[in-house]
Amino acid sequence: MSRPTQTNRYLQKEAKPRFSVKGVYVARLLVGILLGLNIVLILTIAFSSSGIPGYRKQDQQVRELEEKVLKLRIENQKLFEMIQSLKTSSKAQEKLVRQELGWVRENEIILESPEKKNEGGEKAIGPIKPFSVPK
């Protein structure tokens, strides 16, 4: 029977690398692919129509529509106030009839030049009709 030989524990053994050469190349390849993919995504965000330019265009459209909505709300409020005044005030009714229809009271005289146009852009045609204001 042969005895196992004793070895010196302090002798250095050959160190094995943690990664083989093949593993380093795979890791570098993976990093390169991910870096390339990031570059493509950044360029897409920066220059595509659905990226930053598209966002700016949509933001401008939203601002324009908000301005339009504000103008329509103001116009709607004015029309609502006009309707309320017509319902409650006979003076407002008289004013509207005079402006839109060109009516006058009895014994009133209106002087018009041939070039004068009413609010609708049409020339006043026909006889001016007298009316009485309800009291």
pLDDT digits (tens, 9 = 90+) for 19-31: 556 777 888 899 9
User: What's the token pair of residue 29?
Assistant: 């390849």
Domain that holds residue 34: 17-47
Band of residue 135 on the pLDDT scale cut at 50, 70, 90: very low
CA distances from 114 to 36, 82, 108, 122 (A): 77, 30, 19, 11
Q: State whether 66 and 96 are in the same domain.
A: yes
Domain annotation covers residue 75? yes
Residue 53 lies in a domain: no
Q: Could you tell me if residue 133 is inside a domain?
A: no
Query: What is the tally of structural domains in the chain?
Result: 2
Taking the C-alpha atoms of residue 129 and residue 106, their distance in angstroms, rounded to an integer, is 9
Averaged confidence pLDDT in the chain: 79
Is 112's pLDDT higher than 50? yes
In a domain, 114, yes or no: no
Same domain? 65 vs 97: yes
Look at residue 116 and tell me whether its pLDDT is greater than 60: no
Closest CA to 90 of 124, 131, 127, 129: 131
What single string gives the DSSP state of each residue in 94-126? HHHHHHHH--B-TT------TT-B-TTSPBP-S
What's the pLDDT at 111? 76
pLDDT reading at 127 higher than 60: no
